[in-house]
Amino acid sequence: MTPDYNTLLLAIGLSGFCLSATLFATWMSARVERFLLSWSLGIGCIVPAVATYSFYFENPDFRIGCMAFMLHFLGFAFIYGAAYRFRTGRSGRRRMVAVFVAGSVVALPWLVVGYDGVGFIALNLFVAGCLAATASEYWYGRKEAPLPLTGIVVLYLLTAVSFVLCAAVLIHDGQWVMGHAPSNWAENLNLVMAIIGITGIGAMSLALNQWRVAGSHQRAANTDALTGLLNRRALFERYGEEAVNEHRAAIAFDLDSFKSVNDRYGHAAGDAVLKVFADVLRDACGTAACVARLGGEEFIVVLDRTLAERAQRVAEHVRSDFAAKLIPIGGRSITCTVSAGIALGNAQCTSFDSLLSNADKALYISKRNGRNLVSLAA
């Protein structure tokens, strides 16, 4: 083994070990993004794979080669699994097992029967396919963070190309049986690309994790924990400073006799009622409206580019659907109703605060007139 080649293998091992430890420590600090754990385990398998391969280079015994191959397949299976978990949020254990088994079946028998060159060709092509599949997972999820994810995709594809070149050189030279590890310009290029890929992809993965954690904190700050709707803070951050035009409407909802539900059935029952009503709001309003929980049993729906007739249809839809809901509480089902008040922007109502105030006034009209009603502000 030449000193240069040995140095490259050592560099891969050290950089992989440091990155694996860093990723694992990052995951342990929060245990939120499990794709980091899969990535850490993948790189953690690549490190002993490189060490075993260096032994094989000195002593080309097929048993050592099989061990190096299996560690490679296991590592790249975890790396692919990390990408799949990043995009979908699912574990992907079956996929990782399938990758490991398929790689072992495709490449290991050739080493055992003495066709080590064919085995290395199969190894390189299979790893290239794994890297391309990993790149595709990040590519499909690139909308989340286009710039870093595109960079990750490029690095994975470049590394895949370097593995394809290793296989192409062996095929071109007809090295079906070698009796030793391959040594050519493509192998050297592959090691350099592996070092670049490990460090670059690792750094971008850590940056993605920080971006996700920050986004998670932001969503938690703007989301009502019980219903998953926007909270008061998020609502006023979105609309508080904007001028209200005549095509914006606000619908205020307040659950009727909600205190009696808590008193009679308990606060857990009250929480269940709030969740059901939040689901009714989502179904009725879709993505065309901003839906928020102001607190307690008070909710608000903001409609842009709308007319009074549409706002009334939405409010009536919510009111009638919720009244028809059978809500399971402790072995029985109960029904609840909701009152609503609608306000529209106009020449006298130009701020968001005044729009909400008018919607509240209309809501109180519904309450005074017997509840389970929809009223329109004057």
Does this chain's domain 3-221 share its CATH topology with 232-376? no
CATH class of the domain defined by 3-221: mainly alpha
Task: Give the pLDDT score at 33.
Answer: 67
- Gap between the Cα atoms of 227 and 359, Å rounded: 22
Residue 366's CB is within 10 A of a number of other CB atoms, namely 25
Task: Give the pLDDT score at 29.
Answer: 65
CA quadruple 279, 280, 285, 291: dihedral sign: negative
- Gap between the Cα atoms of 316 and 294, Å rounded: 20
What crossing angle do the helices spanning 146-173 and 116-140 adopt, rounded to 10°? Answer: 160
CB 133 within 8 A of CB 80: yes
Task: Give the pLDDT score at 86.
Answer: 84
C-alpha 120, offset from chain centre: 35
Task: Give the pLDDT score at 300.
Answer: 94
Helix runs in the chain, H state only: 3-30, 35-58, 62-88, 93-112, 116-140, 146-173, 185-222, 232-239, 258-265, 267-285, 308-324, 352-368
Task: Give the pLDDT score at 163.
Answer: 94
Name the residue type at position 11. A
Pairing, β 327-329 against β 332-334: antiparallel
Longest CA pairwise span in the chain (Å): 93
- 3-class DSSP state for residue 225? coil
Pairing, β 289-295 against β 249-255: unpaired
What is the DSSP-derived secondary structure letter of residue 287?
T
Residue 129's CB is within 10 A of a number of other CB atoms, namely 19
**256 is written with which tokens?**
């009727």
Task: Give the pLDDT score at 305.
Answer: 84
- Gap between the Cα atoms of 44 and 15, Å rounded: 11
The DSSP H or E segment spanning 251 is strand 249-255
Q: Measure Cα distances from 177 to 67, 111, 157, 180 in Å.
A: 19, 9, 28, 9
**Residues recorded for the chain:** 378
- Dihedral in degrees, nearest 10, Cα atoms 269, 270, 274, 275: -30
What is the DSSP-derived secondary structure letter of residue 230?
B
Token pair 């140095």 is found at 7
**252 is written with which tokens?**
């205020």
Task: Give the pLDDT score at 308.
Answer: 85
Task: Give the pLDDT score at 3.
Answer: 46
Task: Give which of 305, 280, 312, 298 is closest to 376, Cα–Cα.
Answer: 312
What crossing angle do the helices spanning 185-222 and 3-30 adopt, rounded to 10°? Answer: 10
Task: Give which of 82, 7, 15, 12 is closest to 49, Cα–Cα.
Answer: 12
Mean pLDDT for each 10-residue chunk of the chain (378 residues)? 60 74 70 75 86 87 93 92 88 91 94 93 95 93 83 92 95 91 88 83 75 69 86 86 79 92 88 93 86 92 88 93 90 90 79 88 92 88
Domain topology for 232-376:
Alpha-Beta Plaits (3.30.70)
- Gap between the Cα atoms of 201 and 198, Å rounded: 6
Domain ranges within the chain, ordered by starting residue: 3-221, 232-376
Question: Residues 6 or more apart from 263 whose CB is under 8 A from it?
Answer: none
- Phi and psi, residue 214, nearest 5°: -65, -40
Task: Give the pLDDT score at 369.
Answer: 92
